[in-house]
Structure 1
Amino acid sequence: MGRMSLFNSPLLLGFEHFERTLDRANRAASDGYPPYNIEKVAEDALRITLAVAGFARDDLSIVLEENQLVIRGRQAKDDDRVYVHRGIAARQFQRAFVLADGIEVEGAELENGLLHVDLVRPQPATVARSIEIKSATDIPDGSSGSGIAVDVTGETESSASMTDESVD
């Protein structure tokens, strides 16, 4: 018997991407290694911190695949050591975080066994410019009868006064 999914309904065609994203997030959440924190460090910035004690910088990789941040760790085998007791886990891992649209990875730093990955959501610059509205009788050579210049901030410039200030 196949597994049940919310997306198996014939009314939900084209949602396979969401199902795959949810499956990946569920698989990543089921394994608790390595532990991590997600911290809001500013209004538009987050920091993911993973506890990766014992991993060197060369043992770690961070890849952004579509909107998914994938952090992998793999330690090289040290066959020269003979352990009497081995209690420190030295296993490979993979952690995946699904990022919202617009989130960018700013950088990463390894410090005292903690891997910090900084994320930022840049604020779009707002630029106001005036757009001229031409009438249907305007001639393509540039000479026109009456034109209205509309400022996208909601203000209008015209020889005739306009009372409605809402511009969509």
Structure 2
Amino acid sequence: MPGYQEDDLSVSLKGSRLLIEGKKEEKLEEDNDKWIHRGISQGQFTLQFDLGKNVKIEKADLSSGLLTIAIEYELPEEEKRQTIAIENKDKS
């Protein structure tokens, strides 16, 4: 996210959908540069990712223009592996 600061970005989780939104006011400079394409370096954008069920956003970090989002998958208790003790009735 080059050119964006933490205050320009929003990271949220709605259900299983990760939303990354950015809004940056475009500062018009009075120079003679002519742009053919400026990408998302200015203005507003929304990115959406379907992450599936049982996810949790741990943290988000913006460093040197790179947005890193730590995502943890939480396995529900009823889906976790259970160890069952084996009894030997012959040893009674």
Tell me what 1:59 maps to: 8
- Per the alignment, in what secondary structure is the counterpart of residue 92 of structure 1? strand
Alpha-carbon distance between aligned partners in 1 of 2:21 and 2:31, rounded to the nearest angstrom: 26
Tell me what 1:84 maps to: 32
Unaligned runs of 5+ in 1: 1-51, 129-151, 163-168
Alpha-carbon distance between aligned partners in 2 of 1:73 and 1:95, rounded to the nearest angstrom: 9
How far off its partner does 1:93 sit? 1.1
Supply the RMSD in Å over aligned alpha carbons.
2.8
Contact 2:21/2:47 (8 A) holds in 1: yes
Amino acid at match of 2:30: V
Correspondence 1:51-130 to 2 at 5 A: 52-79=1-28, 81-85=29-33, 86=35, 87-89=37-39, 90-122=42-74
Alpha-carbon distance between aligned partners in 2 of 1:83 and 1:122, rounded to the nearest angstrom: 52
With normalisation by structure 2, the TM-score equals 0.71
Task: Using CA pairs under 8 Å that are at least 6 residues apart, name the structure with larger relative contact order, 1 or 2.
Answer: 2
Query: Could you give the per-residue CA deviations for residues 70-99 of structure 1, whole angstroms, max 9, x where no partner exists?
Result: 0001102325x2242235331311111111
Say if 1:124 and 1:65 are closer, same or farther in 2 by CA, change over 3 A. closer
With normalisation by structure 1, the TM-score equals 0.42
Which structure is larger by alpha-carbon Rg, 1 or 2? Answer: 1
| Identity within the alignment, % | 24
Unaligned runs of 5+ in 2: none
Larger deviation: 81-90 or 112-121? Answer: 81-90
User: How many residues are aligned here?
Assistant: 84
Contact 2:26/2:43 (8 A) holds in 1: no
Higher strand share: 2
